[in-house]
């Protein structure tokens, strides 16, 4: 039996307090991350006992013989670039606008943020219906406006499907960047802005030389979060196109899922996951080191 006095030390209490969270986090978040590397060097259908070590054969397959992998790779990069540009820029513009003392700005903020709290799968269902080629919102509006020549099968046309999905994603994610920028704008020194105005600086120059420098930390956070969130893009694509038509909206996260959970090739699915994980770490690790450095500063 343990000495009961041992349980009264601060160290023991720390362990008791830490244990539940750390155990569940390590077992169900960290371990799968390590295990995916193990899976990626095996051939396995996910259920049977037949697991064989195959070395780098899965990587060789996805890199050299899987035509979909590179399509998914290209789409993921394109999607990430778009996600780093459009939602943050629109979010920043909205935040700058809402930072002025305007009538009803609280209500406007609520409206812009509303899509963020909706399940991505519901956003996918909503937009699928709006993109419906026959009775959907967009083609109806185009017909009413006499612009029939613009009518498209928005999700069925492989040249535009990815962009159609991205529009829905932008609608959902702009509010997230906006809220972070609005919080960041609170840290901009009002007296500095007013002083610049009195000195005759126009709005653009005030923004460029006073507001923007003060927003730098938030800007970094928004960009990093945008990249990470975009690499996670799964629900909205699964719900809208499932990667189609003709793999034109296929992404790495979804392709890894498809390989493992639908084709039952856990090895190849694992190898795809590992490549995505490496890309994520290339962004996360420098960012974490940067935040540690910033924290060290006075």
Partner 1 sequence: MTAVTTTRPADEIVPAKRRDPLLIALWITLVVIALIWIAPFVFIFFTSLKSNAEVMSSSAFAPPASVHWPNFEGAWRNGDFGRTLINSTIISFVKVPLGLLISAMAAYALARIRLRWNKALVLFVLFGTMIPFQVMLAPLFTLVNGLGLIDTYVGIILPYLAFGVPYQVFILQGFFRAVPKELSEAALIDGASHITVFRRIFLPISLPVLAALLILDFVNTWNEFAMALVILQDSAMWTLPLGLMSFQGQFSSDYGQLNAAIVMTVLPAMIVYLIFQRYFVSGLTSGALKG
Q: Which of residues 26-85 bind partner 1 (CB under 8 A)?
A: 27-33, 35-36, 39, 46-47
Q: Enumerate residues 6+ apart whose C-beta is below 8 A from 235.
A: 119, 120, 121, 124
Q: How far is the CB of 91 from partner 1 (least distance, A)?
A: 12
Q: Give the CA angle between residues 21, 23, 25 to the nearest 5°.
A: 65
DSSP secondary structure letters along 98-152: HTS--TTHHHHHHHHHGGGGS-HHHHHHHHHHHT-TTTSHHHHHHHHTT-GGG--
The smaller minimum CB distance to partner 1, of residues 159 and 258, is found at 258
Write each residue from 160 to 189 as x if it is in contact with partner 1 (CB under 8 A), else as -, in one continuous string. Answer: -----------x----x--xx-xxx-----
Which among 79-87, 102-110, 150-158, 188-196 is the span making contact with partner 1, rule CB under 8 A?
Answer: 102-110
Which among 52-60, 74-82, 106-114, 192-200 is the span making contact with partner 1, rule CB under 8 A?
Answer: 106-114
CA–CA separation, 228 and 224 (whole Å): 6
Q: How far is the CB of 83 from partner 1 (least distance, A)?
A: 13
| Total residue count of the chain as it appears in this document | 298
Name the token pair of 174: 């702009």
For residues 58 and 142, the answer to whether their CB atoms sit within 8 Å is no
Q: How far is the CB of 31 from partner 1 (least distance, A)?
A: 7
Which ranges of 199-265 does DSSP label H, i.e. alpha helix? 203-206, 212-231, 235-240, 252-257
With binding defined as CB under 8 A, does residue 231 bind partner 1? yes
Which residue in the set 82, 122, 185, 188 belongs to the binding site for partner 1 (CB under 8 A)? 122
Which among 61-69, 145-153, 192-200, 286-294 is the span making contact with partner 1, rule CB under 8 A?
Answer: 286-294
Which uninterrupted H or E stretch holds 43?
strand 42-43
The smaller minimum CB distance to partner 1, of residues 3 and 159, is found at 3
Q: If you ran DSSP here, which 8-state letter would residue 42 be given?
A: E
The smaller minimum CB distance to partner 1, of residues 70 and 129, is found at 129
Number of residues near partner 1 (by CB under 8 A): 95
With binding defined as CB under 8 A, does residue 298 bind partner 1? no
With binding defined as CB under 8 A, does residue 112 bind partner 1? yes
Q: How far is the CB of 2 from partner 1 (least distance, A)?
A: 16
CA–CA separation, 33 and 38 (whole Å): 9
With binding defined as CB under 8 A, does residue 111 bind partner 1? yes
For residues 155 and 131, the answer to whether their CB atoms sit within 8 Å is yes
Which among 136-144, 154-162, 188-196, 208-216 is the span making contact with partner 1, rule CB under 8 A?
Answer: 136-144
- CA nearest to 251, candidates 117, 73, 78, 92: 73
Which among 76-84, 131-139, 149-157, 190-198 is the span making contact with partner 1, rule CB under 8 A?
Answer: 131-139
């Amino acid at each position: 039996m343990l000495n009961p006095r041992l349980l009264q030390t601060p160290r023991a209490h720390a362990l008791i307090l830490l244990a539940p969270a750390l155990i569940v986090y390590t077992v169900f978040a960290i371990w799968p991350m390590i295990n995916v590397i193990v899976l990626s060097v095996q051939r396995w259908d996910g259920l049977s006992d037949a697991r064989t070590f195959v070395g780098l054969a899965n990587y060789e397959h996805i890199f050299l013989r899987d035509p979909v992998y590179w399509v998914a790779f290209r789409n993921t990069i394109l999607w990430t670039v778009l996600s780093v540009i459009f939602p943050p820029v629109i979010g920043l513009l909205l935040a700058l606008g809402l930072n002025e003392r305007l009538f009803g700005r609280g209500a406007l903020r609520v409206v812009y943020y509303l899509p963020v709290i909706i399940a991505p799968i519901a956003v996918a269902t909503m937009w699928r219906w709006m993109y419906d080629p026959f009775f959907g919102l967009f083609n109806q509006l185009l017909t009413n406006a006499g612009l029939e020549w613009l009518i498209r099968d928005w999700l069925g046309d492989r040249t535009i499907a990815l962009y159609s999905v991205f529009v829905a994603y932008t609608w959902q994610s702009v509010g997230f960047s906006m809220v972070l920028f609005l919080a960041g704008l609170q840290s901009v020194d009002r007296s500095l802005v007013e002083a610049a105005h009195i000195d005759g600086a126009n709005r653009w120059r005030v923004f460029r030389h006073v507001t923007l420098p003060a927003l730098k930390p938030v800007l970094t956070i928004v960009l990093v979060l945008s990249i990470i969130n975009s690499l996670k893009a799964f629900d909205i694509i699964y719900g809208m196109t499932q990667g189609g038509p003709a793999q034109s909206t296929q992404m790495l996260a979804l392709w890894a899922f498809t390989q493992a959970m639908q084709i039952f090739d856990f090895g190849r699915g694992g190898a795809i996951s590992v490549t995505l994980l490496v890309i994520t770490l290339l962004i996360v690790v420098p960012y974490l080191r940067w935040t540690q450095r910033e924290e060290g500063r006075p």
